[in-house]
Amino acid sequence: MRVEFKIEGGLAYFPGLSKPRVIDSADLPAAEADRLHRLVDAAGIFEQPAGGRALPKGAADYRQYTITVEDGRRRRTIRLADPIANPDLEALVEYLRTRTAPGDEPASKDE
């Protein structure tokens, strides 16, 4: 499973510095890859609508998230914005934010 994650918006957002980060479960230790699969399944990524919800008026500083998941022949891109009401989607976003923090490269299988 390959997950691409991008954050946009927020108070300290600089468009040129915001690049998608990728997590490939094949590069993770088995326990971490299993955790990623469980979070994606619990969030129902492949059942989520592809379009994102419109930001409410006055919410220009809300963070927006784009998540693309590829698993075999399946591929889905969803867009979310703060606040995320679904706790399973929120847990996935928090995991991805932690795993893709700048300077925090995912551990390899060999570690």
Predicted confidence (pLDDT) per residue in 26-48, tens digit: 999 999 999 999 999 999 999 99
Euclidean distance between CA atoms 19 and 41, whole angstroms: 25
pLDDT for residue 108: 44
Q: Are 36 and 26 in contact (CB under 8 A)?
A: no
Predicted confidence (pLDDT) per residue in 58-71, tens digit: 666 788 899 999 99
